[in-house]
Structures are given as structure tokens and as C-alpha cells.
Amino acid sequence: MLETRETHGPSSTETASRAAPYPATDATEQEPDDVARDKQLKRDEILGILSRHDGNRGGLISILDAIQAKHGYLSADALKVVADETGRSLTDIYGVATFYKSFSLKPRGKHLCSVCTGTACHVRGAPIIAQEFERQLGTSAGEMTADKEFTLETVNCLGACALGPIVVVDGHYFSNVDSARVKRVIKKTRAGLDKVEIKGDKRVFPITVSCSRCNHSLMEPGHLIDGAPSIRVTVSFEWKHGWLRLSSLYGSYTLESEYKIPVDTVLDFFCPHCHADLKGASDCPNCGAPMVSMIVQNGGIAQICSRRGCKGHMLDLDGGGF
């Protein structure tokens, strides 16, 4: 955002004249052109979400949920678009958005850090931990840090009282947290929570796979990823067709590809030898995209989600079922 602003040169007067009737969001600092484009882009995304929930009057919560998953929060403009398109009043939608605590009307940081302050966690020192987070992040509960990395919030109970005090960062649970561990939690989050420690993690192990149709091995011993032979397949998306190399370590999400694949793209996977579609019979339990199935040597089927960025996977070593 900042780079584009530099190239165009800021002009605050024009920005002010374009101010929306609803409280302006983070967009006020941008160029009017950027604001308009950004707005249009977000509008298109919302329209796409709405078209998926077409004709479903009870789908307001899922619509808001999908918008929040995409934008990180519910902006005033987004609620306005939903109101206009669904024909419901803005009052109703605002009422729903403020009723549920999982909806946020303020921009959220990249990582959401929830500190449990429920009864069990409270007596084990959750307030001190919340204070420590506030001190370390330089923000207060319910607010975003200045660098837009973290949003800190306190929640009332996460339902894991035996493990308290509990801190959840982006769906990763940290149990028995004390104030000395706060710094480590933040450091680990900044480094990336999804990064898999390949060495020493017993849940990560190499598999050898082959095409489910021609049974030709998909392994490429000459090309190493994570220090193990990679799996090579052909993928296509948006009229692009190229190779994709996956780590053969089950549990690692490292991959290399010929083209840069945007997150959320659902890819078509093909065998590079017989060109058969590798699409399996089932859908991803996480996101609903088709699963890609490959035969594991020594019997069994490994399935991975075909959506870029989704971590849905299944391993069925008995080989039955599918």
C-alpha cells in the first residue's frame, strides 16, 4: 500500500472530499484511485460470496463469516454492500454483526491472539499473562498493534480449563502459559506457527507415492525438497499448465511450482506420465474442494486438498475405503 502511494504522490484534500458517509476505514490514507479500486475489489469479493449464498435468507451469519475470513474484519462498506444486495436493512445486519463476538468491526492484525480469562485461567494468573501480552505487544486488549501484526483479545473461556492458563494464537493452543513464556509465544508467532519442524518431529515421515491410474512412481529422486525426494505432478489453473513439486514428507507443506499460485486457487492435478486426472472421490473436510489421491507404496492412499493454502490431508494406510 505504501509503495503505491509513493509512486502516485499523496494528496490529502482529494482523499477528504471522497470520504464515505460511513466511518472511513483504513483506506483514508490512500490515494483516491487506490481507494476506489480497493473498494471495487472488496465489493466484487463480497458479491462473489453473496452469489454463493443466493436465495438463502438464513445465511446472513455465514455470509458475514465468509466476508470476515476474506477481509479480516467487517468494514462499514462491506455491511452496506450486504444490506443493499440482500435487501435486508443495515440495522439488522449491524445488529447481528455486533451480537456475535467472533465478528469484528475493527481491522484485525495478521495474528489473532486470545488470552483466556475464564475462571480457571483467572485463578492461575491469566490477568498477569494478559498484562504481559499488553506490555510486550504495546497494545491493550481488544486492540491491534501499530504494525498490524497482532490483535490482542481476552476471551471468557476456551473450554480447556485443565490446560490453563490458555493462550490461542491463530488456532494454535499454548497451554500452561506463564508470563515468562509470553515472549516465546510472540516470537514463535512472528516466525510462523505453521512452519513444521521436520527434524525431531515424529509426526513427519517420508512417503513414496505413485499415480493412482498408471501406478507409475511420482517420485523425483534427483530433486530434493526438505532433504527428501520430491513428488512431481502437473497442475493447471487459470489456463496455466505447469509442474508442481511437493515435499514427500507427510506433514510438511513445502512446495515448489513453475508458476506462482495464488492462495485459494483450486488446482487440477495430473499425472505427468499418463496425464490422468488425480482427483479423488472425496472432498476436503476443511474447505470442500476436491481431494487429490495418490497411491502410497506398500499399500494405502494419501489424499491432499487441491486448494492452495488449505492444509486438508488424509492418509489411509490400510488401502480400504476409497
Partner 1 sequence: MITLQINGLEVAVEEGTTLLEAARFLGFPIPTLCHMDGLSPYGACRLCVVEIGEGPRAKLVSSCTYPAQDGLKVRTASSRVVRARKMVLELLLASCPQSKTIQDLASAHNVHRQRFRQEYEDCILCGLCVRMCEEQMMAKAIGFRGRGQTRSIGTPFDIKSEECRLCGGCMYVCPACQLRCTYTEPEKAVCGGCANVSPPCVEKEQFDDMMCYMTPCVACEIEK
Q: What three-state secondary structure class fits 198?
A: coil
Q: How far apart are the C-alpha atoms of 207 and 298, rounded to whole Å? A: 10
Least distance in angstroms from the C-beta of 90 to partner 1? 5
Write out the binding residues for partner 1, residues 55-84 only, by CB under 8 A.
Answer: 76, 79
Q: Does 103 bind partner 1 (CB under 8 A)?
A: no
In this complex, which beta carbon is closest to partner 1, that of residue 11 or of residue 119?
119
In this complex, which beta carbon is closest to partner 1, that of residue 90 or of residue 141?
90
Q: How far apart are the C-alpha atoms of 225 and 231, rounded to whole Å? A: 9
Scanning 91-99, 130-138, 162-170, 290-298 for contacts with partner 1 by CB under 8 A, the matching segment is: 91-99
Cα–Cα distance list, 160 to 120, 173, 175, 177, 208 (Å): 9, 10, 9, 13, 38
Write out the binding residues for partner 1, residues 8-27 only, by CB under 8 A.
Answer: 21-23
In this complex, which beta carbon is closest to partner 1, that of residue 20 or of residue 287?
20
Q: How far apart are the C-alpha atoms of 105 and 214, rounded to whole Å? A: 52
Spell out the residues 6+ positions from residue 320 whose beta carbon is closer than 8 angstroms to its own: none
In this complex, which beta carbon is closest to partner 1, that of residue 83 or of residue 266?
83
User: Pick from 60, 94, 106, 313: which binds partner 1 (CB under 8 A)?
Assistant: 94
SS3 of 12-80: HHHHHHCCCCCCCCHHHHCCHHHHHHHHHHHHHHHHHHHHHCCCCHHHHHHHHHHHHHHHCCCCHHHHH
Q: Does 121 bind partner 1 (CB under 8 A)?
A: no
Scanning 64-72, 85-93, 156-164, 203-211 for contacts with partner 1 by CB under 8 A, the matching segment is: 85-93
Q: Does 91 bind partner 1 (CB under 8 A)?
A: yes
Q: Which residues bind partner 1 (CB under 8 A)?
A: 21-23, 76, 79, 89-95, 98-101
